[in-house]
Every structure is written in C-alpha cells, then in structure tokens.
Amino acid sequence: MKALFFTLIFVVIAVACWQFVKLLGLTKGDQIATEKENNINGWLMLGLLGFIYGLMIYSMYGAKDVLLPQLSASAEGEHIDLLFKMTMTLVLVVQFVMQFFIFYFTFKYRGIKGRKAYFFADSHKLEMIWTITPAIVLAGLIIYGLWVWNEVMDTSDAENPLIVELYAKQFQWEARYAGADNELGNASVRMIEGTNTMGIDFSDKNANDDIPLMVSEGKFVKELHLPKGRKVIFKLRSQDVLHSAFMPHFRAQMNCVPGMVTQFAFTPSVTTAEMRLNKDTQAKFKHINELREKEGKEAVEFDYLLLCNKICGSSHYNMQLKIIVDEEADFNKWLAGQKTFAQLN
C-alpha cells in the first residue's frame, strides 16, 4: 500500500507541474523559439559551460585527496602512470576546448530575427584537418600504449620470479607460494576434499613444497606477503564463478576464471612501511581517520589491498585480502616461518 502512496505522490507532483505552468499562463503561441527565449537560453548555455568547467575544477580539486596515491607500488605501474598522465592531459585539453566551442557558439549565434545563417555545407580542407589530426595523435597514443601493455604483460624475461597462486572463491581469497622448487603443484576442483580446500594434487611431486595460505577451521586468510624488488608472477584460479584480482595500488588486475589459469605479474617497488610514509597516503588517511572519528569508528592504517572486481554474488562487495610488501630479507624470513604442505599433512 505504501508503494501506492509513493506512486500517488509522484503523480501529484507531475500534475502540479502542469497546473503551475498553466496558472502562470506561460503557454505561448510561437512555436520555434522567440528572440527572448533564444537570449535567455543562450546565456543559460554559457552558464552550463561554466557549470561544467566548475565541476571539472571542483572534482579535480576535491578528488586530490581521495585518489589512489600517485606513487605506483609496482615498477610496471610507473609506465602505466606515465601513459595515464599523458592521456589524461590530452583528454582534459580536448574536453576543455570542445566544450568551449559548443557552448560559446550556442551563445554567440543564438537566434535573432532577420539574421541570415551562413550557408556553409562543406569544406574538404577542414574535413581533412580534423580527420588527420586525431589520426596522428592517436597513432602516438596507440604506439606508446601498446609498448606499455607489452611491458606489463610479457613475463618471458623475468629472472627468478616469485610464483604465487591466488585462488578465488565466493567470497574469499586463498593463496599458495610455489616453494623451494618455485613450481606450483597441480590442482583441480575435483580434488577438493576436507582440509584440501584448494584441490591440490599431492601425487604431483611439485605440490608438497608449496606453501599455502588456506582457509582453515573457518578462518579467513588474513594477509598475503610479497617481497619488494622481485618480480611476482600471479597464477590465478577460481573455484566457482568469475572473480577478478584487483590490486589498484600496484596498477594490477586480472580475472580469475573457473576452468583455466590466468596470469598477471608485477614487481612490488614500495614496501607497506614506505607507503605509509608517503605524502599522499598520509593526507588520505588523515582525512579518512577524521571522518571515522566523527562516526565513532576506530582509526585505520594504510594497507595494500586485493579486492574482487568482478561481480561474484551477494558478498562481492566484501571479498578482500590484505597485502603486505616487505623488504626481501624480511619476506624470506616470513616465508620460512610458514608451513609447506608436506609439513602440514
């Protein structure tokens, strides 16, 4: 019934709009647009331009603090950031200029009775200019973009990379380090049984030295450690539906697809401790903690995150894992403290 009530309210508002205008007697005879209307709307269009510019500036200024830290936490991410800055600059310039022309012309040439429009139907030269200019600019963007893409995706020249498996399931992450032989043992969903939540095939000789971060006794995996300065190749698997391993600070993302193993790689370049000292991070977290304090929530510290970024079900919005980047020596010490499958079984 309440729904009916709300619907009625909407109908009443709509009727009121009509009645309002009728009362004011604004319904006019002229069908196209009067000079007065052209004038008012011409000015208003100029105002809309101002609004759009204002919004651009406000958003960029207001977003300064909320954005990801400018410092990429991976070496590969630096290429992406540079490409991003170049593209974004181009985008903003084009946006600024094009919007100016649209609204300025709308304002300047707003209709006046008796003025003749200029019959200007074609210009081969102009058409050539605005076909070729974007083509040249885009050629540059494409070439540089593809170079970066190749740099990020190609792992064939990695020396002694760390192999880490990320295993996604509704709605948590598990992980597995490849261990002493740096090779992951085979796994399959058909092997999942009891405590073997990742479906590891223990008859595979590569499997026993693997180091799992598993869900055990209903406890979530708390954190994933990575070494600074060593290339990490992630092998991604999913148990049930599509997930996506999104690590925004590292400029890294790859889907986890049931039935296949996907891959993404990067070299962490900033430890968690270093990132906590970063200027942007500090400003952002200062702001966040102020807001949290107002709401009576406890203060938080910066941490790298792994988020799920492919809709995967009702708790998709809370499928996360903390990532900690250590100096390589600390990382090795931490890893040595973890149990291999052989030790666990």
Partner 1 sequence: MSDHHHKETYVTKYIFSQDHKMIAKQYLITGIIMGVIGVFMSMLFRLQLSHPEQSFSIIEAFLGRAGEGGVMTPDMYLSLVTIHGTIMVFFVLTAGLSGTFSNLLIPLQIGARDMASGFLNMISYWLFFLSSVVMVISLFVETGPASAGWTIYPPLSALPQAMSGSGLGMTLWLVSMAIFIASSLMGALNYIVTVLNLRTIGMKMTRLPLTIWAFFVTAIIGVVSFPVLLSAALLLIFDRSFGTSFFLSDIFISGEVLHYKGGSPILFQHLFWFLGHPEVYIVILPALGITSEIIATNSRKPIFGYRAMIMSIIAIAFLSTIVWGHHMFVTGMNPFLGSVFTFTTLLIAIPSAVKGFNYITTLWKGNLQLNPAMLFSIGLVSTFITGGVTGLILGDSALDINVHDTMFVVAHFHLVMGVSAILGMFAGVYHWFPKLYGRMMNKDLGYLHFWFTAISAYGVFFPMHFIGLAGLPRRYYNNTAFPIFDDLLHINKVITVFALIGGLAQLIFLANFFFSIYKGKKASKNPWNSTTLEWTAPVEHMHGNWPGEIPAVHRWSYDYSKTDENGELWGGQDFTPQTVPIREGEEEF
Residues 6-35 close enough to bind partner 1 by CB under 8 A: 6, 10, 13-15, 17-18, 21, 26-29, 31-33
Query: Between residue 282 and residue 341, which ones bind partner 1 under the rule CB under 8 A?
Result: 284, 287-288, 291-292, 300, 302, 305, 307-318, 320
Three-class SS state of 260: coil
> Nearest approach, Cβ of 329 to partner 1 (angstroms)?
28
Q: Residue 151: which H helix or E strand, with range? A: helix 124-153
- Among 8, 50, 70, 98, indicate the residue that binds partner 1 (CB under 8 A): 98
Q: Which stretch binds partner 1 (CB under 8 A): 214-222, 226-234, 242-250, 271-279?
A: 242-250
Cβ proximity to partner 1, 106 vs 182, nearer residue: 106
- Among 46, 71, 75, 90, indicate the residue that binds partner 1 (CB under 8 A): 90
DSSP 8-class letter at 160:
S
- By the rule CB under 8 A, 121 interacts with partner 1: yes
Cβ proximity to partner 1, 80 vs 179, nearer residue: 80
Give how far Cα 82 sits from Cα of 154, 231, 274, 275, Å. 19, 20, 21, 19
- Among 163, 166, 252, 265, indicate the residue that binds partner 1 (CB under 8 A): 252
Q: Residue 168: which H helix or E strand, with range? A: strand 162-169
Query: Between residue 163 and residue 222, which ones bind partner 1 under the rule CB under 8 A?
Result: 169-170, 188-190, 192, 199
Cβ proximity to partner 1, 149 vs 343, nearer residue: 149
How many residues make contact with partner 1 (CB under 8 A)? 134
DSSP 8-class letter at 268:
B
Over the window 221 to 240, marking each residue x when it contacts partner 1 by CB under 8 A and - when it does not, the resulting string is ---------------x--xx
CA distance 173 to 170: 8
- Among 149, 180, 339, 343, indicate the residue that binds partner 1 (CB under 8 A): 149
Cβ proximity to partner 1, 89 vs 343, nearer residue: 89
- Among 221, 248, 332, 340, indicate the residue that binds partner 1 (CB under 8 A): 248
- Among 152, 200, 213, 232, indicate the residue that binds partner 1 (CB under 8 A): 152
- Among 8, 50, 70, 142, indicate the residue that binds partner 1 (CB under 8 A): 142
**299-304-306 Cα angle (round to 5):** 115
User: What are the backbone angles phi and psi of residue 296, rounded to the nearest 5°?
Assistant: 75, 20
Question: Can you spell out the DSSP letters for 172-234?
Answer: EEEEEE-TTTT-PPPB-GGG-BTTBTT-B-TTSTTTTT-EEE--BTTBPP-EEEEETTS-EEE
- Among 8, 50, 70, 146, indicate the residue that binds partner 1 (CB under 8 A): 146
By DSSP bridging, strand 211-213 and strand 172-177 are: antiparallel
CA distance 265 to 245: 12
The residue behind tokens 């919007």 is 99
